[in-house]
Structure 1
């Protein structure tokens, strides 16, 4: 039980840090070129 809890905490922390890093990286690049990732997500959400 403790192992799963620690793994979940590590995964959650890594996701938070990665999301913060992605936001910092997207701010300067969004002005130059919009990434195609949000378009793919919008297509998946539109199909479902």
Structure 2
């Protein structure tokens, strides 16, 4: 359950979990991104 940005970030995180170098940031500016209080998801691997 979550919005499009949460879906994008989780999908990328799962697909690139074995990557040694990965940066992704997903955020929304429309004020509504699903039914949770989360407004930003970031995945960082270097």
Instruction: Tell me, yes or no, whether TM beats 0.5.
Output: no
Instruction: Give the TM interval when normalised to the shorter protein.
Output: 0.3 to 0.5
Rg: which structure is higher?
Answer: 1
Kindly indicate whether structure 1 or structure 2 has the higher relative contact order, using CA contacts under 8 Å at least 6 residues apart: 2
TM-score w.r.t. structure 1 length?
A: 0.31
